[in-house]
Each structure stands twice: as C-alpha cells, then as structure tokens.
Amino acid sequence: PKPNGDSTAMLMKSYACQRRTPLKHHNSFLTEALEILAQNAEYNDNEGRSVAFRRAASVLKALPRRVRSMQDLRWLPCLGDHSQRVIKEILEDGSSREVESTRQSEQYQVMKALTGIFGVGVRTADRWFREGLRSPDDLIRTGQQLNREQQAGVQYYDDLQKPVTKAEADVISDMVEKAVHAVLPGAEIQLMGGFRRGKEVGHDVDFLITHPEEGKEEGLMPKITNWLKEQGLLLYQKTTRNSYLEKMDGPARASSNMDRFERCFSIFKLQKSAASCKSSSAASAEDVSTGRESEGPAEHHPEASGWRAVRVDLVVSPYSQFAFATLGWTGSKLFERELRRWAGQEKHMSLSSHALYDSKQNLYLRAKTEEEIFAHLGLEFIPPSERNA
Ligand code: DGT
Ligand code: MG
C-alpha cells in the first residue's frame, strides 16, 4: 500500500493551467530558492532553464502539504535533475550552496537592481553591468543616455521599488474609474494582474477597460490620459496604439505573448493621505496640507513628500475580445505561458489575449467569458485566485 501523500502527487497534472495554485502554499522555503535560480537564468538569457525552474517551483506551490523528504516528490511531474538536486540539499542541509552563492553574487544583485528600473530590460542591464555600472546612481553619475521611460524609472526609483498595497490599488481604481467615466460613460473597468488573483501587494496596478458597444472604446486612451494629466495625477505616460488586425495577425501571431491592445504604461501620483492614512505618520499627512508635494518630481524625497509614485498599466480592449484580454491579463505569467503551451501542444489551437484560433477547424472560437475559453480548451475552469502558478 502506498503512503498517503503519493495519491496527490500521482494526480498532479503536468500543465499549470490544469491545476489549482493558491496564493499561499506550504513550500515557499523551496519555491523561493528555485525562483532565484530561475531569475538568474533569465539574467543570463537562458529562457529554457528559467522556465524549467519556474515549472518545478510551480508544482510545489500546488502541493497540499509541506515537502518533508524526496519520497514526497516521487510521482511529481516537471521536476528535472537540477531542481531535484537543489531540493534535496535544502531538505538535508537547510539551504542550497548554489542558491546561496547566486543570491550573494554581484551579478545577480546588480542585475536585480538595474532591471528593477522601470524601462530597463535584461539586455540593457547586462550591458551596463559589463561596463562596470552597479546602481541607478551610477547611471546618473556617468551620464548614461537614458530614454524617457528610463529617466522616469530612475527619478522615481525608490517609490517604484516599494510594493503597492491592495489599499493603494483600490484608491488608484477609484481614480481610473473617475477618469474613464468622465470621458466615456458606460465604460467598464476591471482590476487585473496580481490583485485580481488575490495578492495583497504588487509591483504595479493593471487595468482592463472596455465598452459594451463595440467601437466606443476606439480612441479612448488619449482621452483618459489627458483627463488624468489635467488633474495632475500623471507623472509619466507612454501609450502604444492598438495594432491588432485579425486578418493580418491571425493565427501566425496569435500565440505571441505580446499583445497589441492600446496600452498605456504610466506612473501615477498617489496622495499618501488617500491610501495609507493608517500606516503613514501624522507628519506626512501634514505635508499634504502645507503643499510641500508641489515641489515637483525633481526634488522628490519619498519619505518627506505627501505623495508616492505608482506604476499603473492601462489596457483598452474591444468588447468582443474582452474575455480573452481578461484571461490574458490576469496571470500569473507562468499560468499564461502554460495556457498557450496547452493550447498549442495539446489542442492545436493558438491562444492570445485577443482570440483563440483552432488550426484543425481553421476558425476563431468566440467567447464572452473566461469560462467559455477554458471550455473551448478542454480545461476545467480555474478561478483567478487559483492561478498563482
Ligand atoms: P505584480 O504586478 O508583479 O504584482 O504581478 P502581476 O501578476 O500583476 O504581473 P504583471 O503586472 O507584470 O502582469 C500582469 C499580467 O498581465 C501578467 O500575469 C501577464 C499579463 N501581461 C503583462 N504584460 C503583458 C503583455 O505585454 N501582453 C500580454 N498579453 N499580457 C501581459
Ligand atoms: Mg501587476
């Protein structure tokens, strides 16, 4: 007879989109370690290795109990040799030498700091690292050429490093709702990303905006951003235009991870008194009333001012694509990746945030809800709170 734990392990499905992954789980002592190796592989431009570690971590997140021995892992999918070695060492010695030396390495720490700047990707960070640059301050000191996005990233670095709380996300939601309804009554706004999955903090706040009358959403983004600018609520924004055309982009492009909605990468100015009156000191509340926040971003001292900068992503979707956009913007990133892999490898379909294309039938499968998309894909519906793969 098999010990109790084996039955859950044997039933563990191999695609993350077939499993329920809660936000809080029992194995963060292992998943954090594996995710450091995944992150490091990303910094070294090794996507395959990175995904392998992330898939291994994700399987452990779905387990109903803490892993105590290698026996517990016997029947689990997605655990490669390397991940197993790391897990074994942590179970036996309390930590993994490879993980600890990665965590301590200069390259890992510098890449983390530099890619942590809004507008800086792995490639740019890696070039700067090889040129001897170590921190956002070094970029300013050495007079690096920065684009507008990176300038904002450096300028608001300290604020943007601080996690955004759910309370702050709720205040931003109210601001976005006000802006959208001022320029297009009847539009619908949905909080996306990590907060839709139940996270208590995030690195940004993501919103999806649509209107039940198809076509009404066209040209909406500039109106929203103009309204926000007039109210003095925007510190930075860059809008990219919607460039999705079904005929041209259709199946070939549908599986690509970047979507083509009208999208605004922005930085909001959030009054601290609004969201964090519980946690902020009386002194910072006073700063607001004495108008010290109007000193302007160039002299922004996060601790002293009455406001903070928050990264906000706005996406506008036509109503007919709203279900796909909702599914695509809820995450987690690994869950999304696994959905697309499942669609392609198991169903001969391509899924994007715009559409689902069935290559066998040569047609687009319509959907009004996320539930319908899971059904098209032959998957059991997984609610957002269990997509924390
Ligand atoms: P966070 O913000 O770090 O707390 O965590 P998330 O899960 O909110 O991650 P985030 O904000 O980077 O992205 C939210 C979700 O939106 C993510 O799970 C996948 C999706 N997403 C992000 N960027 C793109 C994109 O360019 N295209 C598509 N289709 N989806 C994206
Ligand atoms: Mg997010």
CB 71 within 8 A of CB 9: no
Residue 262 has pLDDT above 70, yes or no: yes
Cis amide bond preceding 332, omega within 30: yes
- Count Cβ atoms below 10 Å from residue 69 Cβ, excluding itself: 11
Expressed in angstroms and rounded, the spacing between residue 331 Cα and the centre of ligand 1 is: 6
Contacts of 339-342 with C-beta under 8 Å, sequence gap 24+, read 339/17, 339/377, 340/255, 340/257, 341/15, 342/15, 342/17, 342/18, 342/377, 342/379
Give kind and range of the element (H or E) at residue 264.
Answer: strand 262-271
pLDDT at 260: 76
| Mean of all residue pLDDT scores within the chain | 91
Instruction: Write the pLDDT tens digit of every residue in 265-323.
Output: 999 999 987 665 544 444 444 344 443 444 434 556 677 789 999 999 999 999 999 99
pLDDT at 275: 64
pLDDT at 7: 80
Residue 24 has pLDDT above 50, yes or no: yes
Give the count of alpha carbons within 13 A of 320, CB side only.
Answer: 10
Instruction: Write the pLDDT tens digit of every residue in 45-69.
Output: 999 999 999 999 999 999 999 999 9
Q: How far is CA 253 from CA 137, 166, 247, 344, 349, in A?
A: 40, 34, 11, 12, 12
Q: How far is CA 238 from CA 19, 147, 208, 212, 265, in A?
A: 36, 12, 16, 26, 5
| Average pLDDT of the segment spanning 363-379 | 98
- Is 137 designated active site? no
Expressed in angstroms and rounded, the spacing between residue 115 Cα and the centre of ligand 1 is: 16
Q: Is 136 in the pocket of ligand 1 (CB under 6 A)?
A: no
pLDDT at 3: 52
* DSSP states along 298-336: GG--TTTSSEEEEEEEEEE--GGGHHHHHHHTT--HHHH
pLDDT at 261: 86
Q: Please state the pTM of the whole predicted model.
A: 0.90
Instruction: Write the pLDDT tens digit of every residue in 108-142.
Output: 999 999 999 999 999 999 999 999 999 999 999 99
Q: Is 331 in the pocket of ligand 1 (CB under 6 A)?
A: yes
Q: Tell me the residues surrounding ligand 2 (ion) with CB < 5 Å.
A: 193-194, 202, 204, 206
Catalytic residue among 72, 126, 159, 204: 204
Least confident of 8-17, 217-226, 347-356, 374-383: 8-17
In the chain, what percentage of residues exceed pLDDT 70? 87
- Is 358 designated active site? no
